[in-house]
Amino acid sequence: MYKLVKPFFFKMDPEAAHHLVVDGLGRAARIPFVPSLLSGLWGVHPAKSLEVDVFGLRFAHPVGLAAGLDKNAKAVAGFSRIGLSFMEVGTVTPLGQPGNEPPRLFRLPTDEALINRMGFNNEGADAMAERLARLGRRRIPLAVNIGKNKTTPNENAADDYRACLKRLYPHGDFFVVNISSPNTPDLRKLQHGDELRGLLDAVRGEMEIQAKRAGGKPKPILVKIAPDNDEEQLAYMAEAILASGMAGIIATNTTIGRDGLKHPNAKETGGLSGRPLTERSTEVVRTLYRLTGGKLPIVGSGGIFTAQDAYDKIRAGASLVEVYTSLIYKGPGVVREIVKGLEERLRKDGFSRIADAVGADHR
């Protein structure tokens, strides 16, 4: 089915196609019988062996949706029906902002990649909170990816992350601190030094305040990092994230690297996602698992197009994985394809459950 409509989408401006799909999926999911139709077309019925228990949450299988596709939580009900076991919404900032000037999203078909310099364009935390409040019961765990406004200086960044947590705490099952987008000036500097420790301490403190106010346990917080860090930087980040009490790491965000690209759009600035990121993001997962001794759960993200791509990240140390660019190039059926392939690879390697495969390359 996707093969029939893909040429139509790829003739459109990439951002226009993006909005058409997300807005259309959001509207369609409100029509009676459409959610069941989506489940029938693309739903997944994984084996018990693929269930994942991590961060105090249960996931039907390891494959979820990365942030950036549903920035404003417009299509949560629809995405929940295409086989994903969890999804991220956002990145959301305290105040709505337009992001960078278009054009700001580019396809690189010959490289199976995307370049974006969106700049955290979103409607703001209030709009997202109101939309999620209307959603009601969630079918799959939902992560809210939070960031800072472009005009907020780094010395005040913690205030923005705390404001997002305060407004959206009731509506997320877990939260992701995004300090690794290359499209917000100086944001990546928050990954290093005292700025990282101070930010994470502030976020953890706000989470404890909100949990106490709600009368429950603090919700898990993950930190999303860039693939463009060397091993020394990764070691510092792993130490700081462990010490801060964060629940895990998402590895990785998009890259500013351009090695090996063939498409003319390679000259565009912004973050590169898709197939060129496959090996590097897996290597970052492998390094982080080794540096943390497997004590800090990792979500592998970057260039996952096949079951083997996902399995490589799991064996390298990822408990969960996320797709994004492969959905654009292969369509929703890629989720079912990956999940089925993971079952086959577990059986082939003699593992009875997916948890046994996590970090297997280190043993």
Q: What is the pLDDT of residues 224-276, one digit of tens each?
A: 999 999 999 999 999 999 999 999 999 999 999 999 999 999 999 999 999 99
In 70-209, DSSP assigns E strands to: 87-92, 95-97, 105-108, 113-116, 122-124, 142-146, 174-178
Question: Tokens standing for 232?
Answer: 């020394």
Average pLDDT over residues 109-120: 97
- Choose between 305 and 182: higher pLDDT: 305
Average pLDDT over residues 154-163: 96
Whether the predicted pLDDT of 113 surpasses 80: yes
pLDDT at 105: 98
Catalytic residue among 85, 180, 181, 281: 181
pLDDT (tens digit per residue) in 289-316: 999 999 999 999 999 999 999 999 999 9
pLDDT (tens digit per residue) in 45-90: 888 999 999 999 999 999 999 999 999 999 999 999 999 999 999 9
Question: How far apart are the C-alpha atoms of 47 and 39, rounded to whole Å?
Answer: 17
pLDDT at 43: 94
Average pLDDT over residues 140-145: 98
Closest CA to 184 of 220, 233, 150, 231: 150
Average pLDDT over residues 187-201: 87
pLDDT at 183: 86
Whether residue 141 contacts residue 303, with contact meaning beta carbons closer than 8 Å, is answered with no
Known active-site residue 301: no
Q: Which of the listed CATH numbers 3.50.50.60, 3.30.70.890, 3.20.20.70, 3.40.50.2300 matches domain 2-362? A: 3.20.20.70
Question: Tokens standing for 354?
Answer: 């997916």
pLDDT at 195: 87
Question: How far apart are the C-alpha atoms of 42 and 70, rounded to whole Å?
Answer: 18
Backbone Cα Rg of the chain: 19
